[in-house]
A and B are shown apart, each in its own frame.
Chain A
Amino acid sequence: MRPFNYLAPTRLDEALSLLTPQAVPLAGGTDLFLRMERRQTQPDTVVDLKRIPGMDGVEAVDGGIRIGALALMETLAASPLISDPYDALAQSARVVGSIQTRNRATVGGNLANASPAADTATPLMALGATVEAADAGGTREIPLDELFLGPGRTALREGELLTAVRVPALPARAGSGFQRCVRTAMDIAVVNCAAFVQLDEDGVVAEARIALGAVGPTPLRAPAAENRLEGRRFDPAAAEEAADCAAEDARAIDDVRASADYRREMVRVLTRRAVGNAFRRAQGEA
């Protein structure tokens, strides 16, 4: 590993002032440590954010929730503010790596790394989340759909730090589902999929959001699949059709973990299952 300076500020503004182009922020480090070890990232300065108080909690805000960027996966998995209403998010946090990883990895890190397979990215996209990005000049909100630009690339500007994630209030008659396909239990997702549906009073889909992971350069929305659901009542055929559309929306590639064909097929299976889960929750069944 290339030598660097380690700084651990205790205030956010101090941290922001340290984030020069040659500096990287350190949250849980489960990804950054390895990238530095392999010399894929060679910063002059590492700014450890964990000494800044108040960045690791989950709080209820405006009917929704605000999750500090440094909230651990274990915190997400255990938070009652998340586990019931935002079922898909809680489920995704529970399957990120081992307990050792979940005790270090943070939601901010999971998103800012912009891995196409990030497990919390798809449920947060399906739930309509935004992220707060701060720099010395102030804070702005970025819809999560616009955060990811490519593998490891985000819309965060130089010197800008992802400080929190906001998930909007869950409307009535809404529900989410998360599905994941792996090779063995402890694995990075071969494909993951999150679905969100909101029904009107007649049980017709008013809004649907479906997000797919590990089938493109970034986590993806599946617009064709969402359109196919909107205006429909739940029936197996609707889920099946949405799943077929999602498989079209996916931009899967071959790699050591799976072939593009298998991934597309799994998008179909997982979308159908995730949509089913979301419907059942929206209908108050599960």
Chain B
Amino acid sequence: MRVVGQELPRVEIFEKVTGQSVFGADVSPGGQVLHGKMVLSPHAHARITAVRTERAEGLPGVRAVVTAADVPAVRYGKFVRDEEYFASTKVRYVGDRIAAVAAVDEETAEEAARLIEVDYEVLPAVTSGLEAMEPDAPLIHDSYADYWTQPSVEDRRGNVCNHKQLLRGDVEAGFAEADRIFEHRFHAPMVHQTYIEPHTALARFDASGRATVWVPTQAQFPLRDAIAEILDMPMTKVRVIPTEIGGGFGGKISPTVEPAAVALARKARGPVRIVMGRGEDFQTTNPRHPFHLRYKTGVKLDGTITAREIEVVLGTGYSSGSGVMISQGAAVRAPGPYRIPNLKIDSYCVYTNTPTCGAYRGPAGPQLAFASESQIDIIARELDIDPLEIRLRNAMEDGDETPAGLPLKDVHVRETVRKAAEAMDAAPRAEGANIGRGMAAAHWLVGGMASSAGVKLNEDGTFAILTGLVDLSGASTSLAQIAAEVLGVSLDDVHVRTADTDFAPHSTISAGSQALKSMGGAVLLAARDVKRQIQQVASDKLEADPGDLELGEHKVFVKGSPERSVSLREVGRSALEHERGPIVSTQSVSRLIPHPAVAAHAAEVEVDPETGHVRILRYVAVQDVGTAVNPLSVRGQIQGGVMQGLGQALSEACTFTDGKMDNPNLLDYKIFSALDAPPVEVHLIQHPCATGPLGAKGVGEPPIIPPPAVIANAVHDAVGVRIHELPVTPEKIVRALQARRAERQP
């Protein structure tokens, strides 16, 4: 291929390196923009007995105050309708929305927010999923039984808002068959996406009753629908215009401040911008679910896994959000990339008095892999089997089925895992004490969502792609590469525009590793159709059969006689006179078949046994990516994903005291800086995938999944202690080493 597979700079790169890209807070709609500010609950669980807004409304410069009384009494939620936008009778977490204000400047808005008085009757709160399942736990949704749910939501009881069970084979028979049975518990805490651009929205409300919202979102169409639902407006009276987005990682899918901005703009009769502070962003958005995990695994002495019984308890936060879907997906992926004949998996989605968790990159992936791959490592050591061997012995293959019964194709577990081991073994182990190596493997299932794209031939022989896909991670460049490949031009001749919800054909969201699979599929079909139209128009000019025409070098030519050609420019112009008319095609895809994508990583670490500090000496990431449409983007995604995964492995956690987050700032929520980041050696496994455009697989999520397990396994190899709770902090390592010394010297 000429264009696909090339390491090309991004199509929007020059705006980005010159500061010209327009991000959420950079939008200027003209005229005075009011400053909006949210008023949030300081309590994790409390009844609201009164809300008084008079003092705020009376403050000079305040233009609007909105509360639950100003929005329709809508209860919403995709799986369980358990959320109200402004709390009316009860707050369920620190950060629950009470009101919003709009004022002429930031100081006045802040002052007005302080003047809103709320009376609370504080209730006992629960922030741990396990504790929320206890019979005497405070009930977070008193009337949960009356809520509407989707049919897939099962077995709701108390704070449990979904329980998914998957059974395969006979798990008891599987354990009976095993030589050894291992059982361990693991915990992975809540972690936050920590995109560098905080949430923000700018809303305008027209005299005609139409709302326009400029917002950095990964999901403009679902966001439009959500705003319309929450404010009970006709869907197409809401226009969402996606801006450039400063990182999302799954955190910019669900609505946050957008409905408040619209409600304020409507009441204040002027545009309103809300920009979240970092603390508000940490405490009121959609982080990764905390997981409590129990893995029980039966194995033969040769390492063959005979059965796995897995219990997953996911704390969803104060509403179900995407927790039901993620707990269902967790059940399917919990066993790891292995062929296990007997399975019993129970996955619980449980309300807690915390922010509603969302779909952070590879939702459920790192938590499950941490537990599963730590235990695989424990088993390998106990049975004295090489960590690579035990993974190869149990690896799933083409034709194997997920626990839900979906048969898989394009499975490359063995090759990916073997390559990770090989790459790590390519250099000798560093000299010295307290050095260790670890590996882990994981798979991800990449689905797809209905998408449509337009491709047109411009009259100067260039092309344009019309899409509603937000470019989160290089998707626009890859779409352009696919079109350029089909149409025989270079990347410079394909322009991509992300249009808004009013004008773009329906688009998938930029999440779930499937943006390119879905939208790329639509672009591929549209480009191929445009090519057919070009061939048709050119065939009249060249007096040749359309089937004998080829595209290349900005021309259409007769196969075998390149001198008989017509330029694309000429085709574009003559199409206007041709019976076909202008050359344009819009094509759609839906019902895409999920494919697996595998990541296998290995690390070498050095642990300071006195301070517990872990230094990563080497890190290898191998990923099965199908066709890498743009290897520069693919490697970039993998390196970035690994770094977020390493943060989860070593330093990141949202912690809570009395329901309030202890560390809602970048000083105490520790993401990696350049000084923490090891170089990441990336290897791509490229076998074209039957279900991806030009063979591409989903790339974005798999790299974040293995690192916590890799690090836990490497630390164990280095100093002999096993950490069962993320993150693997220096303090936990020191404590484990002290405990081991105490055991040895009774």
> What residues on A are CB-neighbors of B650 within 8 Å?
184
Are A262 and B667 in touch, CB under 8 angstroms? no
- B107:A184 contact, CB within 8 angstroms: no
Does the CB pair A262–B662 fall under 8 Å? Answer: no
Alpha-carbon gap, A184 to B643, bound state (A): 13
A1 lies within 8 A of B667 (CB)? no
Instruction: Flag B640-676 by CB within 8 Å of A: 1 or 0 each.
Output: 0000000000110001000000110001101111011
Scoring A residues 4 to 46 as 1 if CB is less than 8 Å from chain B, else 0, what string do you get?
0000000000000000000000000000000000000000000
- Of listed B611, B663, B671, residue having the most chain A CB within 10 A: B611
Q: Which residues of A contact B676 (CB under 8 A)?
A: 184-186
**B447 contact set on A, CB distance < 8 A:** none
Residue in contact with B675 in the complex, picked from A185, A257, A259, A262, CB distance below 8 Å: A185
With a cutoff of 8 Å between Cβ atoms, the chain A residues found around residue B672 in the complex are: 184
A183 on the B face (CB < 8 A): yes
Per the 8 Å Cβ criterion, residues 56-98 of A in contact with B are none
Asked if A187 CB lies within 8 Å of chain B CBs, one says yes
Q: CB-CB contacts of A245-264 with B at 8 A, as 1s and 0s? A: 00000000000111101100
Does residue B720 face the partner (Cβ distance < 8 Å to A)? no
Say yes or no: is B155 at the interface (Cβ < 8 Å to chain A): no
- In the complex, A266 Cα to B613 Cα: how many Å? 11
Give the shortest distance, in Å, between A163 (CB) and chain B (any CB).
Answer: 29
Indicate which residue in A1, A184, A188, A269 contacts B651 across the interface (CB closer than 8 Å): A184
Q: Is the interface of A mostly helix, strand, loop or mixed?
A: loop
| Cβ–Cβ contact A256 & B668, under 8 A | yes
A residues near B458, Cβ cutoff 8 Å: none
Contact B734 A265 (CB under 8 A): yes
Instruction: Find out whether the CB atom of B731 lies under 8 angstroms from the CB atom of A184.
Output: no
Is B55 engaged at the interface, CB distance under 8 Å to the other chain? no
Among B610, B662, B735, point to the contact of A256 (Cβ < 8 A): B662
Q: Encode contact with B along A172-196: 1 for CB under 8 Å, 0 otherwise.
A: 0000000001011111100000000
Q: Is the CB of A256 within 8 A of B655?
A: yes
On whether the beta carbons of B673 and A181 are closer than 8 Å, the reply is no
Q: Which of B651, B675, B735, B738 contacts A183 (CB 8 A)?
A: B651
Q: Is the CB of A269 within 8 A of B731?
A: no
- A259 in contact with B731 (CB, 8 Å): yes
Task: Name the A residues within 8 Å of B668 (CB-CB).
Answer: 256-257
Interface size grouping (class) on chain A: 10 to 19
List B708-742 residues whose CB lies under 8 Å from chain A: 729-731, 734-735, 738
Minimal beta-carbon separation of B611 from chain A (angstroms)? 6
Contacts of A257 in B (CB 8 A): 668
CB neighbours (8 Å) of B738 from chain A are 265
Contact A188–B734 (Cβ < 8 Å)? no
For B, the interface residue count at a CB cutoff of 8 angstroms equals: 23
Cβ distance A160 to chain B, nearest Cβ, rounded Å: 30
Please report the C-alpha to C-alpha distance between residue A187 and residue B613 in the assembled complex, in whole angstroms. 14
Whole-angstrom distance from the CB of A77 to the nearest CB of chain B? 15
Name the residue among A184, A185, A187 with the largest chain B CB count within 10 angstroms.
A184
- B670 near A183 with CB under 8 A, answer yes
Q: How far is the CA of A79 from the CA of B517 in the complex (A)?
A: 56
B651 touching A266, Cβ below 8 Å: no
The answer to whether A266 touches B675 (Cβ under 8 A) is no
In the assembled complex, the Cα of A198 lies from the Cα of B569 at a distance in Å of 84
Residues of A within 8 A of B662 (CB): 256
* Distance of A3 Cα from B108 Cα, bound (Å): 11
Say which residue of B610, B611, B670, B729 sits within 8 Å of A187 (CB atoms).
B670
In the complex, chain B residues whose CB is within 8 Å of the CB of A3: 107
Which A residues touch B671, using CB under 8 A?
184
Q: How far is the CA of A123 from the CA of B107 in the complex (A)?
A: 41
Contact of A269 with B670 in the complex, beta carbons under 8 Å: no
Q: Chain B, 103-115, contact with A by CB distance < 8 Å: what is the 0/1 string?
A: 0000100000000
Taking the nearest CB of chain A, how far is it from the CB of B738, in angstroms?
A: 8
Note all chain B residues with C-beta closer than 8 A to A259: 731
- Contact check, A266 vs B611: say whether CB atoms are below 8 A apart: yes
- The residue on B at minimum CB distance from A266 is B611
Residues of A within 8 A of B107 (CB): 1, 3
Measured between beta carbons, the chain A residues less than 8 angstroms from B735 are 261-262
With A256-B662, A262-B735, A265-B734 known as contacts, the answer to whether A188 contacts B667 (CB < 8 A) is yes
For B670, the chain A residues whose CB sits under 8 A away are 183-184, 187
A1, B106: Cα distance in complex, Å: 9
Q: When chains A and B are docked, how far (Å) is the Cα of A281 from the Cα of B633? A: 49
Smallest CB separation, B376 vs chain A (Å)? 28
Nearest A residue (CB) for B661: A256
Please name all residues of chain B whose beta carbon is closer than 8 Å to the beta carbon of A184 when the two chains form the complex. Answer: 650-651, 670-673, 675-676
Instruction: Report the minimal beta-carbon distance from A187 to chain B, rounded to whole angstroms.
Output: 7
**Cα distance, A265 to B729, chains bound together (Å):** 15
Chain B positions 353-371 with a Cβ under 8 Å from a chain A Cβ: none
- Cα(A257)–Cα(B730), bound, Å: 11
Please, how many angstroms separate the alpha-carbon atoms of A28 and B393 in the complex?
61
Let me know if B610 and A269 touch, CB within 8 A: yes
Contact of B731 among A185, A186, A188, A262 (CB under 8 A): A262
The complex places the Cα of A256 from the Cα of B673 at a distance, in Å, of 20
Which residues of A are found within 8 Å of B675, using beta-carbon distances?
184-186
Contact A258 B731 (CB under 8 A): yes
Residue of A183, A187, A259 ringed by the most chain B CB atoms within 10 A: A183
Known: A1-B107, A256-B668. A181 touches B611 (CB 8 A): yes
Nearest opposing residue in chain A for B650, CB measure? A184
Closest partner residue, chain A, to B677 (CB atom) = A185
* Given known contacts A183-B729, A184-B673, A186-B675, A269 and B611 CB-to-CB distance under 8 angstroms: yes
Measured between beta carbons, the chain B residues less than 8 angstroms from A258 are 731
B600-615 Cβ-contact flags toward A at 8 Å (1 or 0): 0000000000110100
Residue of A nearest to B612 (CB): A262
A28 to B695, CA, bound (A): 55
Q: How far is the CB of B283 from chain A (nearest CB, A)?
A: 14
Residue from B662, B670, B738 with most neighbouring chain A CB atoms (10 Å) = B670
Chain B residue with Cβ nearest A38: B279
Which residues of A (151-181) have their CB < 8 Å from a CB of B? 181
In the assembled complex, which residues on chain B have CB atoms less than 8 Å from the CB atom of A269? 610-611
Distance to closest chain A CB from B652 (angstroms): 9
CB distance from A201 to the nearest CB of B (A): 33
Complex CA distance for A241 and B492, rounded to whole angstroms? 70
- Of the residues B651, B655, B673, B734, contact of A262 by C-beta under 8 Å: B734
Measured between C-beta atoms, what is the minimum distance from B259 to chain A in Å? 27
Q: Do the beta carbons of B729 and A185 come within 8 Å of each other? A: no
* Cα A252 to Cα B331 with chains together (Å): 43
With both beta carbons as reference points, the residue of chain B lying nearest to A269 in the complex is identified as: B610
* B residues 606-628 touching A (CB-CB < 8 Å): 610-611, 613
The residue in chain B whose Cβ has the minimal distance to the Cβ of A181 is B611
CB neighbours of B610 from chain A (8 A): 269
Beyond the given A181-B613, A185-B675, please list 14 additional residue pairs across the A-B interface where CB-CB is below 8 A. Answer: A1-B107, A181-B611, A183-B670, A183-B730, A184-B676, A186-B673, A188-B667, A256-B663, A257-B668, A258-B731, A261-B735, A265-B738, A269-B610, A269-B611
- List B residues at the A interface (Cβ < 8 Å): 107, 610-611, 613, 650-651, 655, 662-663, 667-668, 670-673, 675-676, 729-731, 734-735, 738
Interface pairs (9), CB distance under 8 Å: A183-B730, A186-B673, A186-B675, A187-B670, A256-B655, A256-B668, A262-B734, A269-B610, A269-B611
Q: 5 tightest A-B contacts by CB?
A: A185-B675, A256-B662, A262-B731, A269-B610, A186-B673
